Chain A
Amino acid sequence: MLAEPIGRHRELDRVERELFLRSTIGRNLPSTRELAELMRDVAFEAGSTIYHEGDVAEEIFFVLRGTVALSKAGGVRHEYGPGSVIGIFDVEQDKPRARTALALTDVALLALSSEDRLELLEDSFEQTSAIIRMAAARLDEFARYGGGPLDPGVTLAPKPEPLLLIERVFTLRDTPAFRRASIQALVSLAPAADEVRLAAGERLFERGEARAVLFVVVAGCLELQRADGQRERFGAASLLGGGAAFGDALVRQSARALTSAVLLRIREEDFYDVMEDHFELARSLLAYLASEQERRLEEREEAASRGRAPPHEDARSAR
């Protein structure tokens, strides 16, 4: 259900709206007007609810003016000012609203429906890849890549050599980043990958080597070591380095196999080529990146509530 403004609908400052579009999301698009055609403007009075936790998420909102608070029952409240994007994580993951959005002051928003946004991205591949890189860079900032506390001993599974195509497709389908992609897309991606086999203890790459490449673990356990000495482990059906791997994160790491391991190495160029032909792959990846960012923010909130780190949210950010 589209959000219905319940407050007095203020006539938005047209200049402000156009300036906003030109200086933010519309800047890299061929036509700001084209983007504007897809949006509607909504206004809410202070104290009114923009959407409730549990509502169907169909739109993302760009804050033009005013302050919006996002909170979930019993959780921390975050405030967002002009230039922020709200509701995007839910829309990307196609799930109900995780938080309630409340107008703290009179707010002016631009609303863009999920369908229209996807259509826009499908037609603008550069924009899509830029968003992916941006989300990856944001994940990189969290200094956690989503590795788990794996016991290397239980991650061993014999795999035929060479890997069967279907085995590759199964692995990709089980990998969270590609879980929502179409089978057709995975069937196209699977043969484009190279198979890498490592013995226990063998290096996959050293710092500075892993440029424009992605690794999907088929079997075994890999350890990623960051420049600050922190280590994370990745097991079967996981993307080495998590969502941050779509940026420059891997260049600054080194990786080695803790057990004998099988991986798929996918050149970034090949990945984007398949993505251009199969937009659902981009949708799947965007959903994964959104879920990862949300998870990191929640971990940070939890740590903050335990007094381990201060809660921090950029005023011009997305959630």
Chain B
Amino acid sequence: MRFMMLLPASAKPLEKAVAVPDKELVTAILKFNEEMAKAGVLLAAEGLHATSKGSRIRVSGGKRIVTDGPFAEAKEVIAGFWMIQVKSKEEALEWAKRCPLPENGLIEIRQVFEMTEFPPELQPKAAKA
């Protein structure tokens, strides 16, 4: 089963952290990524730029309203993510606990939908990504 390990962060501190990345943290995360790859667990790992470079689109009644970042009002935005292939949620949790995050760091683990989990009537060819 696949899990996404998400990094929720406050928008404002993230803006600063991304502008001047912490060398020690970047190095520690690289090592962690290599460990997960060696264990055959890692599928993807990506970091995101600050929200000042981002956009949001709200779709409402056929209208598309675009708002440019930063999203300073957002309590939580995503700083990055990992996609891992593991045998259980417990294994995902064990990997998350080993992540070299700094004080007050936060990881969210969410299971990824597999095509086979969708109800049969929702598995036409149209459902393939």
A binds B: no
